[in-house]
Amino acid sequence: MTGNANLTGAVYMMLSMAAFTVNDVFVKLAAETVPLYQMIFLRGLLTTAMLALTVQMISGLRFHIPRGDRKVVILRTIFEMATVVTFLTALINMPIANATAILAALPLFVTLGAWWFFGQPIGWRRMLAIAIGFGGVLLIVQPGTDGFNAYALVALVAVLMITGRDLCTRSFSPEVPTMTVAVITAAGVAGFG
């Protein structure tokens, strides 16, 4: 049974990654004629509508956020706004493969952030893997070479913003309705755009 669930999860993960890649292609194509913030607004509006409808159909939207979590929800939304602006800016101005490869450094940053902010243990093996991973990112970014694109640094900033968003999510209390947070965040991004 577990093997079947793992296979199903792997298939869904591959489909979601394919969807992100298709989305990135459409962003690059649309950027030729649509200004960045207009694109952010339209994507945010469509995402908000689709998420709200889906959540309402599955479990119903519950907008009650516990008082102690409200500031964290706001901070998470701000991180998401910064993520969208920085990542789309980088994506529009550099090859998709490079932007995606830099984004692959996200688990490294999240692991370090969890260690730094939440005291999660990191053994020497994991620290070595993180160091090797950062070396791989440097190979992709290639600072100091003629082919260096300053937008690679913008993509790295996007990774930092996503890390902040994910660490905020980690600090939510169990009472926070996660799908409602996703709807709030999408609406915040649309409003920002």
The predicted-structure confidence for 103-117, as pLDDT tens digits, reads as follows 888 888 888 888 888
Residues 13-25 have a mean pLDDT of 87
> Average pLDDT, whole number, for the chain?
88
Residue 115: CB partners within 8 Å, gap ≥ 6?
121, 122
- State pTM to two decimals: 0.84
As a whole number of angstroms, the distance between CA 130 and CA 111 comes to: 8
Q: What percent of the chain clears pLDDT 90, i.e. is strictly above it?
A: 38
Q: What is the pLDDT of residue 91?
A: 92
36 with 89: CB under 8 angstroms?
yes
53-85 tens-digit pLDDT: 998 888 877 778 889 899 999 999 999 999 999
Burial environment of residue 157 by CB neighbours within 10 A (0 to 12, 13 to 18, 19 or more): middle
